[in-house]
């Protein structure tokens, strides 16, 4: 296929561009530089918040835009400028919290962007190792929620940590029909379900669409690569959507499959559409 047809390549980060050691392979890194030299827009779309991304990527990392927090924010990586962000109103945060507490669900309320690495948490269950692990990892940014005294403010998202029980996820999802519910596999234990609650218009796919409109790139000229359920909207939006071979089996049945994150998945996809040389 002619190189000029494709103008944007979007990749997820953890489990896709990153290998299991949280590193980018040499072929993948070279591919990013090569695309930049050819004026192809390079985008990372991740579930990580802005603070977390900056803890693992240097400021000179070879991308043009960052979509973070599953599409709640968009950042111009070169100009160091926040372009777009969304939030849930404080009154809605309060109602969502009441429902989760009533169903004894463990959850976290993340502040508005750009401070959404800070959160308050409510623990209802006796044991939730993945939830407890996340609090330990981000202990410097975590405060316990007291529902009796909390003054609920605007929030970027609410994150509920569920056991590996899709029926429970679907049951809880039905409680929030006017919000965007995104399913993510926990990057901590690899099996718990993270139910991410956002404003209705938040998704990686919608963020890619917004960015395409802003910089005048047609949907037909986009390629994306993902590895998990929070990538579905993005994979559906782009002209070509690939899932890595280390993704869940049901996703591999739905989308084109590329090599795993351990096998330079980004280079594998890029080399199918560009006469890449380095």
Please give the model's pTM, rounded to 2 decimal places: 0.93
Per-residue pLDDT of the chain (278 residues; tens, 9 = 90+): 445 599 999 999 999 999 999 999 999 999 999 999 999 999 999 999 999 999 999 999 999 999 999 999 999 999 999 999 999 999 999 999 999 999 999 999 999 999 999 999 999 998 999 999 999 999 999 999 999 999 999 999 999 999 999 999 999 999 999 999 999 999 999 999 999 999 999 999 999 999 999 999 999 999 999 999 999 999 999 999 999 999 999 999 999 999 999 999 999 999 999 999 87
Q: Going by C-beta distance under 8 Å and a sequence separation of 6 or more, which residues neighbour residue 14?
A: 22, 46, 47, 48, 187, 227
pLDDT reported for residue 1 = 47
CATH topology of domain 3-85+202-273: Rossmann fold (3.40.50)
pLDDT reported for residue 116 = 97
| CATH class for the region spanning 90-198 | alpha beta
pLDDT reported for residue 22 = 96
Give the three-class secondary structure for 94.
Answer: helix
Query: So where are the chain's domains?
Result: 3-85+202-273, 90-198
Question: Fold match between 3-85+202-273 and 90-198?
Answer: no
pLDDT reported for residue 65 = 98
Name the strands in the sheet holding 107-110, side by side, starting at the edge strand that comes first in the sequence: 142-144, 119-122, 107-110, 157-162, 193-198, 180-185
């Amino acid at each position: 296929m002619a190189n000029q047809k494709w103008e944007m390549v979007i990749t997820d980060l953890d489990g896709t561009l990153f290998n299991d050691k949280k590193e980018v392979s040499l072929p993948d890194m070279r591919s990013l530089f090569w695309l930049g030299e050819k004026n192809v827009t390079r985008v990372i779309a991740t579930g990580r918040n802005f603070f977390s991304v900056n803890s693992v990527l240097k400021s000179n990392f070879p991308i043009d835009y960052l979509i973070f927090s599953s599409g709640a924010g968009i950042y111009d990586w070169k100009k160091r400028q926040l372009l777009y962000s969304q939030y849930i109103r404080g009154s809605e945060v309060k109602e969502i919290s009441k429902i989760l507490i009533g169903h004894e669900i463990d959850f976290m309320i993340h502040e508005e962007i750009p401070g959404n690495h800070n959160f308050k948490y409510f623990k209802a269950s006796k044991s939730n190792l993945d939830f407890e692990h996340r609090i330990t990892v981000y202990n410097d940014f975590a405060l316990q929620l007291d529902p009796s005294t909390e003054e609920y403010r605007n929030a970027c998202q609410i994150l509920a940590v569920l056991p590996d029980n899709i029926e429970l996820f679907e049951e809880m999802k039905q409680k929030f029909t006017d919000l965007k519910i995104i399913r993510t596999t926990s990057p901590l234990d690899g099996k718990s379900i993270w139910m991410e609650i956002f404003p209705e218009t938040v998704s990686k796919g919608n963020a890619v669409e917004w960015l395409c409109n802003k910089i005048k790139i047609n949907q037909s000229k986009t390629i994306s690569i993902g590895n998990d359920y929070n990538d579905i909207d993005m994979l559906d939006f782009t002209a070509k959507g690939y899932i890595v071979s280390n993704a869940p089996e049901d996703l591999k049945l739905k989308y084109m499959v590329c090599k795993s994150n351990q096998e330079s998945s980004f280079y594998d996809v890029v080399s199918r559409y560009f006469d890449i040389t380095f």
